[in-house]
């Protein structure tokens, strides 16, 4: 018997907490109070503010706090590390109308959902001047109807991490891998020369979604169009899926779930030659390749392959933002903190240096700290390597439905992978599924329905 | 109001005060969520913005929710896959542990009970390695057996977690491993509750071991079996963490059971109204089924 009714107690607990506090129905105070922010933003901020963030991000903010408090002696910042389930905590606080922090961090991908609830301060009056200082792809997750409700924090520009010694041994030149076709060919060569021992990349059939997301940023596909209508059924989507199919069919993928035991083990043995991933993966690689660090310089990075020769070779996975809930009673101090942490070179660089969070603030990317040689990666200028091309990253339209849509995408991709990867109607069916489940029209519903 | 009723309450008010903690706690943590959840079944609510009354809209939506149907079907299949072997094994182990000749009983009992107190995180890592399609332990063992006994045609390349046909089997294996010990303890208690004189009398009458099992043990164990069955029914429907850590409901929706589905719609999609509606509807069915089992139980006891 399995007495594990986790869902049930959690649900009940959540609901009962929410309603213990009277008047929980959400209030739309965001727009009224934003004017308050403009009026006082110029004044001298003072008071205590509370910031919620998760592990590494919270640590980085804690490190940045003393410098901020020296600049604004009247403000005291308390950074709280909320651990898992921060989403739920924020949601409870927003629903209850009390208890939200003054500043909170959100994942870039979930930001549009939270923003759509209109429970956050409209930062447009004070943040407008920074619009050109962040890449367009990052702003896309922070705005609603042209208004700014969140400030981009870090980016996740992607590249391919590879093991230099394996590439040398099998005679592969990473500089000649320009397209995904080259990448697959190199993978087959490594597979062949290693006697089938070394796979090119980890790509678990149950988590194809992030690879798909990485690829559609190159092909130019979108899940939603600019108006939030479903736009997944496109030639560009099929192009991305075809690359995944070819990679898997070539036998170069190790079918292990991301962050599983075997996925991590691949850092230290020869089972996996490369890890396509975002900048933030470099920290994990450095911390986990305990056997490889003794042979420093075995890891290096090369550019993401492009879909066609000379095509786009940048993508973004992950990243986060800071928001100021509308409940916040000291918006001036909260904004002063956000402005210092994210919209100044000093703030962003301190976050980068303490916890390797890659600045979305473009002026920070031009500093010598970013350009430093990284001994772990054999002296490569890893920071500026990743900084190159971040402004070319194609923005994805995420909308409030992103998380749910991606859930269905994930489901369908794993179904596709486990049933022969041959399904010409894949995106048509996914489109219909999204239409019926999200209550959103499809961009092409006119012609696809008839 | 009945005035007599009020005077009664006033007269015994101290006693009511003494029993009030339970009722207060129940009202806050039991009754209130229950009623609130019922109310939520009729609204559309994401937890943050204002609730929107949709009447029976959630119920209508439920009728053509193919993922819900799929998840209920998966729940049934997983239940059928794991309950019979688990019950049989639990019964066999309980019999063995109850045997007078067995030494080190406490050790075996503890060993069999350990899986259901092992943290899920540990289980996730270990079973991930066991079921892995790349050099997994289980496939390795099957391969070895295949080499030793070629006529069995074991290839040892079963995609335990990456194929839609096997994902339910993998979940079931994990569940059997985790909960056999728990059921065994229940059955052991049942076995020890059978008076020894029955067996003595049967032995004097010349009954064989099989006859003693058939005519004494099994009939006397029936209430225990039913209790275990009821727990398994509830456990199957609300099973969550086993699926969550092992397959996360995939590939596709092939191992998404009801508990997993409920988690998805409430905590991934924040559809609290719809989730309450689904939870309530299924809970009513479960309640009816449990009632039926209970009724059967009572009927038999009276008939006996």
Q: Does domain A158-315+396-448 have CATH number 3.40.190.10?
A: yes
What is the token pair recorded at A214? 């990485």
| CB-based contacts of A438, cutoff 8 Å, min separation 6 | A230, A401, A404, A405
Is the pLDDT confidence value at A19 over 50? no
CA distance B206 to B216: 14
| Distance (Å) from the alpha carbon of B101 to chain A's nearest alpha carbon | 29
When pLDDT is cut at 50, 70 and 90, the band that residue B156 belongs to is: low
Q: How far is CA A121 from the centre of its chain?
A: 22
- Is there a contact between A4 and B270 if contact means CB atoms under 8 Å apart? no
- Is there a contact between B262 and A18 if contact means CB atoms under 8 Å apart? no
Asked if B228 contacts B87 with a C-beta cutoff of 8 angstroms, the reply is yes
- Is there a contact between A4 and B235 if contact means CB atoms under 8 Å apart? yes
Residue A39's pLDDT is what? 47
Residue A294's pLDDT is what? 54
Distances (CA, A) of A359 to A114, A157, A319, A367, B184: 22, 10, 9, 11, 57
- Is B119 within 8 Å of chain A by CB? no
Is the pLDDT confidence value at B50 over 50? yes
Homologous superfamily (CATH) for A12-19+27-156+318-384: Periplasmic binding protein-like II (3.40.190.10)
Residue B154's pLDDT is what? 67
Are β-strands A151-154 and A320-323 bridged in parallel, bridged antiparallel, or unpaired? antiparallel
Asked if A26 contacts B207 with a C-beta cutoff of 8 angstroms, the reply is no
CB-CB neighbors (< 8 A) of A325 in chain B: none
**Token pair 């894949």 is at which residue?**
A426
pLDDT tens digits for range A390-426: 999 999 999 989 989 999 999 999 999 988 888 899 9
Task: Count A/B contacts: CB-CB distance under 8 Å.
Answer: 157
Of A4, A8, A410, the CB nearest to B241: A4
* Higher-pLDDT residue of A87, B176: B176
> pTM for the complete prediction?
0.84
Residue B304's pLDDT is what? 47
Are β-strands A143-144 and A158-163 bridged in parallel, bridged antiparallel, or unpaired? unpaired
Q: Is the interface score ipTM higher than 0.95?
A: no
Which domains, ranges and CATH numbers included, belong to chain B?
49-303 (1.10.3720.10)
pLDDT tens digits for range A174-228: 999 999 999 999 999 999 999 999 999 999 888 899 999 999 999 999 999 988 8
CA distance A359 to A338: 13
Give the least confident one: A3-17, A98-112, A421-435, B161-175: A3-17
Is the pLDDT confidence value at A46 over 90? no
CB-CB neighbors (< 8 A) of B85 in chain A: none
Residue A84's pLDDT is what? 63
When pLDDT is cut at 50, 70 and 90, the band that residue B31 belongs to is: very high
Q: Which residue in chain B is spatially nearest to A259 when comparing CA positions?
A: B125
| Distance (Å) from the alpha carbon of B198 to chain A's nearest alpha carbon | 30
CA dihedral for A375, A376, A380, A386, sign (positive or negative): negative
Neighbours of B210 (CB within 10 A): 8
CB-CB neighbors (< 8 A) of A11 in chain B: 33, 37, 262, 266, 275-276, 279
Please provide the average confidence, as pLDDT, over all residues in chain A.
86
* Higher-pLDDT residue of B146, A361: A361
Q: In which element (H, E) is residue A148 found? A: strand A147-148
CA distance B151 to A52: 61
What is the token pair recorded at B60? 């209508």
Size of chain B, expressed as the number of residues it contains: 304
CB-CB neighbors (< 8 A) of B272 in chain A: 15
Is the pLDDT confidence value at A324 over 70? yes
CA distance A170 to A172: 6
Helix ranges (DSSP H) in A41-117: 55-71, 86-96, 111-116
Is the pLDDT confidence value at B66 over 60? yes
| Distance (Å) from the alpha carbon of A89 to chain B's nearest alpha carbon | 11
Residue A224's pLDDT is what? 94
How far is the first Cα of chain A from the last one, in angstroms, to the nearest whole number? 49
Q: Domain ranges in chain A? A: 12-19+27-156+318-384, 158-315+396-448
- Is there a contact between A1 and B235 if contact means CB atoms under 8 Å apart? yes
Domains A12-19+27-156+318-384 and A158-315+396-448 share a fold: yes
CA distance A155 to A370: 14
Best interface-test mutation with A: which of B43, B228, B234, B267 has the largest number of A CBs within 10 A? B267
- Is there a contact between A254 and B251 if contact means CB atoms under 8 Å apart? no
- Is there a contact between A418 and B232 if contact means CB atoms under 8 Å apart? no
Asked if A286 contacts A378 with a C-beta cutoff of 8 angstroms, the reply is no
- Is B118 within 8 Å of chain A by CB? no
């Amino acid at each position: 018997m399995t007495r594990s009714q986790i869902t049930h107690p959690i649900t009940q607990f959540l609901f009962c907490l929410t309603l213990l506090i009277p008047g929980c129905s959400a209030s739309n105070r965001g727009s009224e109070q934003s004017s308050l922010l403009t009026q006082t933003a110029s004044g001298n901020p003072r008071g205590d503010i509370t910031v919620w963030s998760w592990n590494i991000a919270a640590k980085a903010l804690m490190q940045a706090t003393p410098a901020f408090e020296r600049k604004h002696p009247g403000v005291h910042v308390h950074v709280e590390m909320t651990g898992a389930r921060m989403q739920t905590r924020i949601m409870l606080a927003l629903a209850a109308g009390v208890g939200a922090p003054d500043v909170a961090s959100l994942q870039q991908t979930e930001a549009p959902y939270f923003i759509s609830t209109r429970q956050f301060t409209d930062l447009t009056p004070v943040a407008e001047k920074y619009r050109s200082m962040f890449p367009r792809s990052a702003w896309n997750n922070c705005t609603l109807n042209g208004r700014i409700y969140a400030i981009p924090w870090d980016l996740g520009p992607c590249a391919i991490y590879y093991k230099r010694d394996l590439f040398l041994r099998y005679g592969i030149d990473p500089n000649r891998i320009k397209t995904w076709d080259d990448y697959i060919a190199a993978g087959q060569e490594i597979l062949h020369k290693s006697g089938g021992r070394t796979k090119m990349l980890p790509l678990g059939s149950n988590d194809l979604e992030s690879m798909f997301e990485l690829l559609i940023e190159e092909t130019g596909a979108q899940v939603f169009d600019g108006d939030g209508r479903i736009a997944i059924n496109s030639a560009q989507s099929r192009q991305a899926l075809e690359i995944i199919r070819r990679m898997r069919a070539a036998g170069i993928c190790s079918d292990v779930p991301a962050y599983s035991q075997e996925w991590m083990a691949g850092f230290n043995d020869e089972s996996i030659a490369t890890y396509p991933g975002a900048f933030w993966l470099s920290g994990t690689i450095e911390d986990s390749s305990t056997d490889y660090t003794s042979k420093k310089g075995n890891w290096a990075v090369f550019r993401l392959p492009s879909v066609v020769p000379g095509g786009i070779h940048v993508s973004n996975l992950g990243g986060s933002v800071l928001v100021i809930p509308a409940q916040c009673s000291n918006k001036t101090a909260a904004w002063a903190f956000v402005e210092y942490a994210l919209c100044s070179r000093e703030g962003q660089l301190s976050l980068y240096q303490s916890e390797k969070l890659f600045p979305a603030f473009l002026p920070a990317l031009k500093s010598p700290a970013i350009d430093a040689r990284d001994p772990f990666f054999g002296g490569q200028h890893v920071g500026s390597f990743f900084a190159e091309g971040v402004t070319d990253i194609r923005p994805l339209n995420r909308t409030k439905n992103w998380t749910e849509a991606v859930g269905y995408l994930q489901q369908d991709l794993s179904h596709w992978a486990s049933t022969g990867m041959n399904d010409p109607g894949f995106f048509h069916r996914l489109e219909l599924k999204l239409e019926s489940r999200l209550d959103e029209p499809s961009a092409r519903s006119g012609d696809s329905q008839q | 109001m009945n005035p007599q009723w009020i005077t009664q309450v006033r007269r015994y008010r101290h006693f009511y005060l003494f029993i009030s903690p339970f009722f207060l706690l129940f009202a806050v943590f039991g009754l209130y969520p229950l009623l609130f959840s019922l109310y939520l079944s009729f609204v559309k609510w994401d937890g943050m913005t204002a609730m929107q009354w949709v009447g029976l809209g959630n119920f209508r939506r439920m009728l053509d929710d193919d993922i819900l149907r799929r998840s209920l079907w998966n729940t049934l299949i997983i239940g059928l896959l794991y309950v019979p072997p688990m019950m049989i094994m639990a019964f066999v182990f309980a019999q063995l542990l109850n045997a007078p000749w067995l030494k080190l009983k406490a050790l075996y009992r503890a060993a069999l009970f350990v899986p259901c107190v092992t943290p899920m995180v540990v289980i996730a890592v270990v079973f991930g390695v066991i079921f892995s399609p790349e050099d997994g332990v289980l496939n390795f063992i099957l391969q070895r057996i295949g080499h030793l006994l070629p006529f069995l045609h074991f290839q040892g390349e079963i995609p335990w977690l990456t194929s839609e046909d096997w994902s339910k089997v993998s979940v079931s294996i994990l569940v059997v491993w985790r909960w056999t010990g728990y059921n065994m303890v229940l059955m052991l208690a049942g076995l020890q509750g059978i008076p020894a004189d029955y067996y003595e009398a049967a032995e004097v009458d010349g009954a064989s071991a099989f006859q003693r099992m058939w005519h004494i043990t099994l009939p006397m164990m029936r209430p225990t079996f039913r209790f275990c069955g009821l727990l398994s029914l509830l456990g199957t429907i609300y099973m969550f963490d086993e699926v969550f850590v092992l397959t996360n409901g995939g590939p596709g929706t092939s191992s998404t059971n009801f508990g997993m589905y409920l988690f998805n719609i409430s905590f991934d999609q924040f559809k609290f109204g719809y989730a309450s509606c689904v939870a309530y509807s299924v809970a009513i069915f479960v309640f009816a089924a449990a009632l039926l089992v209970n009724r059967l139980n009572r009927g038999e006891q009276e008939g006996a």
